[in-house]
Every structure is written in structure tokens, then in C-alpha cells.
Structure 1
């Protein structure tokens, strides 16, 4: 099973982007979504932005990730 994490694009370069993942920043590849723009949300997996998602879905997903993390790190 593969798990993708929602992230917000905060800087964009030619083939990569700097994204924010629940407060942590990392650089990811954008070969699968070259049309991504600043402030858009993407799902990342294995260091690659896989698809662009809408903001509402991203925020709902982030909330579920936070709940899961809170439960595993009391």
C-alpha cells in the first residue's frame, strides 16, 4: 500500500518545488505535475508530487493526519 501526504507548494523551480508538510519543509520533484503553481496543494509520495488536489480536500486530509499522529504520540 502506498500513502500520499498533502503538501502546499511554497516555492517552485524548474523540476522541483519546496513544499510545506504540516509545518515541515522539503523539496520534492514535480515531473508528474509540471503545471503546479505556488500556493496549490499536491499529494506527495516518495519525494515526488504525484497530483494536484483542491485546498478543501488537502485541509481535511491534513486534519486526519494530525489526529493519527496525536493518537500515536500521546
Structure 2
């Protein structure tokens, strides 16, 4: 299963061929914006995007982004609980 992760564009290059910096849960990464940039790339600064394998795949609204982040964090916490449960079963 492929999963896109929401992040906010915090830094831009001068054109769509340059990488933008996207922040995802406090971590900043370089991301290709060529798939979502239709005109002036500086208009994307501050926008929330769905990132998959280093590409911004689509622009999403802030509320959707934050809800998705919360769901991903909750899933991550559930993974830890399942791992703990599995370890108990092995004892």
C-alpha cells in the first residue's frame, strides 16, 4: 500500500524545477513540486501538500492535512501497542 504524507511548504526555489522544502511533523525534507506547480511557484509557499516518494502529489487544505497527520500518529502509536502485545504472546 502506498501512503501520502501531509506536509507544509516552508521554502521555495525560484521555479518549478527546483525542489521546495516541506515540513512534515517537524521534519524538513526537499520535495519535487513540478506535479502541482501551475504558475508562480512562490504561490505555493505555506500551502499543505500530500507528499509521496519525494513528490508533492496534490494540494490539500490545512484541516485535511492536520486530520491526516493525527490519524497517522494514532496508527503509529497503535503499531507500538500491537508490537507490545505480540511480545507478550511470545513469552
How many residues are matched?
74
> Superposition RMSD on alpha carbons, in Å?
1.4
Return the alpha-carbon distance in structure 2 between the equivalents of residues 46 and 71 of structure 1.
24
TM-score by length of 1: 0.89
User: What do residues 27-55 of structure 1 show as CA deviations (whole Å, max 9, x unaligned)?
Assistant: 00011011451111000001000000001
Question: Shift of the alpha carbon at 1:73?
Answer: 3.3
Deviation at 1:72, TM superposition (A): 2.0
Of structures 1 and 2, the larger Rg is shown by: 2
Structure 2 residues not aligned, in runs of 5+:
82-91
Aligned equivalent of 2:47: 40
Q: Does residue 1:63 correspond to 2:70, yes or no? A: yes
> Counterpart of 1:73 in 2: which secondary structure?
helix
Q: Which has the higher strand share?
A: 1
CA distance in 2, matches of 1:38, 1:64: 24
Q: How does 1:1-74 map to 2 (within 5 A)?
A: 1-13=1-13, 14=15, 15-35=18-38, 37-73=44-80
Alpha-carbon distance, 1:16 to partner: 1.5
Higher helix share: 2
